[in-house]
Amino acid sequence: MTDRRLLLLFVRNPELGKVKTRLATTIGPEKALEVYLHLLQHTRHVTQCLPVDKRVYYTDRVAENDLWPEAEYQKRLQAEGDLGHKMEAAFAAAFAEGYTSVVIIGSDCLQLTQEIVQQAFDKLQARDVVMGPAEDGGYYLLGMKKLYPAFFRNKQWSTAEVFPATLQDIEHLHLTCALLPCLSDVDYVEDLGTDFGLNFSL
């Protein structure tokens, strides 16, 4: 059977006051928006040359003529509900359309590289699940070859419990899992680092 690969990208519509809200409490909403736009550009740079289908899921509305060219990225609107429900719906749609390897990422990880995402798809050839743990206890990447609804239910999203709870689901379901390098999301000013390339006067 031919391996049909799809990369799901979950993004927020880049609007003032609606992105990187935790970061905004320190640097203000204008700078937080600037950071988020930088993160979106980084995510596009990481993903645009990957030899897989790509689908961007927006929070509020599907945007045209934006950072994600329609020739390279399919565009959809995220489902209603919490993050788990949104992700489950996106994975379910992908598998219903015949994709056999599906990986999801967000747009908050400046350390993410094209090589890591490619590695995720490659590792899925020999494993049921692939995960990229984040230093805050969540994950920046999740991939699978069929839908496992338990991964998306009964989770305390945006807490340090998400990654270990998902590992527990994997164990209970007797699945094989490959882990990627642990990376850091950008949620607080300390996460920006000196190499972020933006000038903040705090």
Count of domains forming the chain: 1
Residue 80 has pLDDT above 50, yes or no: yes
- Residue 75, amino acid: K
* Residue 198 counted as domain residue: no
pLDDT for 86 beyond 90? yes
CB count within 10 Å of CB 66 equals 16
- Structure confidence by residue, pLDDT tens digits, 91-132: 999 999 999 999 999 999 999 999 999 999 999 999 999 999
Residue 68 belongs to a domain: yes
Nearest to 8 by CA among 152, 157, 126, 178: 152
Token match 């807490």: residue? 159
Domain presence at residue 25: yes
67 domain-assigned: yes
Determine, yes or no, domain membership for 156. yes
pLDDT per residue over 24-57, tens digit each? 998 999 999 999 999 999 999 999 999 999 999 9
The secondary structure of 129-173 as a DSSP string is: EEEEEBTTSSEEEEEESS--GGGGSS--TTSTTHHHHHHHHHHHT
Q: How far apart are CA 173 and CA 80, in angstroms?
A: 27
With respect to residue 197, please indicate whether it lies within any of the assigned structural domains: no
Query: For all residues of the chain together, what is the average pLDDT?
Result: 93
| CATH value at residue 46 | 3.90.550.10
